[in-house]
Structure 1
């Protein structure tokens, strides 16, 4: 193995403390696998902003640390729930249950326009997320170097729709989206699924993610 065939690769500081530096033989690498949010596009707080609007508009209090809320988010990311179903269940818990607990009301129960908030959610995501020009350039360089470039992303269906419509996924040879395959990082089964579909060995892949928990073997 010559120096030209070896790249000394150090993870970001937090990861290096756990794993140290790694020797990567680029002659054996066939696939570069990228996360999307936080890597290809900057991280955003779109969902939190939407829920803040719901809290204000409907005078409710959605608790971000509530176990039910966390469970619904996981199911949304895994494709078990659609974005519409996610909002419906949230409103059942935090809005309609509150309305039903009021024994005497002068006016009928106010119905929430789910379509309005779905459209708002979609438009907010499309407005505030943009593909990183630097990362797009890196992907093109990898293509030119004859590597296969793959996307592996935990994503909600409403975000995947926005990314597809804007052509963000077109730069990848293969895409694996959690909402479509029903598996999400850091579930080891998701990594096995991707390797099987690619007919790849782990040592033939470099995986890039912005979350430490998703990089731990």
Structure 2
């Protein structure tokens, strides 16, 4: 029996355009990211380096790249947050049948954009019993440590948890720990259909 629902953020609540970052960077003659920058991306997502150092890391390899151009390219992945998904979560929160947790690989520049552009963000956040962003807790999916952190923090049994994420490697990692999962396909599935899509669990 599911007692806790753990939600990803991007492509579960917020619509993403994942190729958009590189599409925008191509405009500044950046065709491919070096292994160093790919590693920097992960460090930044874990909150191990500051936003300032993150931007400067890109500028050190691409000296022509202006800060605002880079930030606009970086935020191009974020499309919109349909309010009906917030309303779904709000109703779920008010019913108080489940512990609700958000667990997202989200960096500081992206969450700052969300705070600025999504008028109901604080109300959305308040719907959760816990709200974990990778850069704030220094863990990222699909590393086992991030799931173990949540399970231990809230004294949860894996077999009583459902984790919803659009990335297969993230749901696979959760399944390895005994957590039920829904690997949502954002082009044809929507989180508001949770209780239909995973009715066998409820």
> Normalising by structure 2, what TM-score?
0.70
Q: Aligned to 1:78, which of 46, 53, 68?
A: 46
- Give 1:201 deviation, angstroms: 1.7
Please name the residue that 1:42 is paired with.
15
Change (3 A) 1:170 1:142: same
Aligned length: 166
1:120 aligns with 2:88: no
Secondary structure of 2:15's counterpart equals coil
- Give 1:70 deviation, angstroms: 1.3
Deviations, residues 122-179 of structure 1 (Å, cap 9, x unaligned): 8756xx5322334323312322331221110001111112233431533322111101
* Distance in 2 separating the partners of 1:121 and 1:197: 35
Please name the residue that 1:94 is paired with.
62
Unpaired runs of 5+ in structure 1?
1-24, 56-60, 96-109
| TM alignment of 1:103-182, pairs within 5 A | 113-114=66-67, 116-117=68-69, 120=72, 124=76, 128-146=78-96, 147-165=98-116, 166=118, 167=121, 168-182=124-138
Secondary structure of 1:215's counterpart equals helix
Contact 2:104 2:132 in 1 (8 A): yes
Contact 2:101 2:128 in 1 (8 A): yes
Please name the residue that 1:33 is paired with.
6
Secondary structure of 1:161's counterpart equals helix
Bigger radius of gyration: 1
- Give 1:41 deviation, angstroms: 1.0
Unpaired runs of 5+ in structure 2?
177-202
- Give 1:121 deviation, angstroms: 5.0
Change (3 A) 1:82 1:48: farther
1:187 aligns with 2:163: no
Contact 1:84 1:118 in 2 (8 A): no
Contact 1:39 1:209 in 2 (8 A): yes
Secondary structure of 1:32's counterpart equals strand
> Normalising by structure 1, what TM-score?
0.66
Q: Aligned to 2:32, which of 45, 51, 63?
A: 63
* Distance in 2 separating the partners of 1:82 and 1:150: 25
| TM alignment of 1:11-30, pairs within 5 A | 25=1, 29-30=2-3
Change (3 A) 1:89 1:190: same
Secondary structure of 1:183's counterpart equals coil
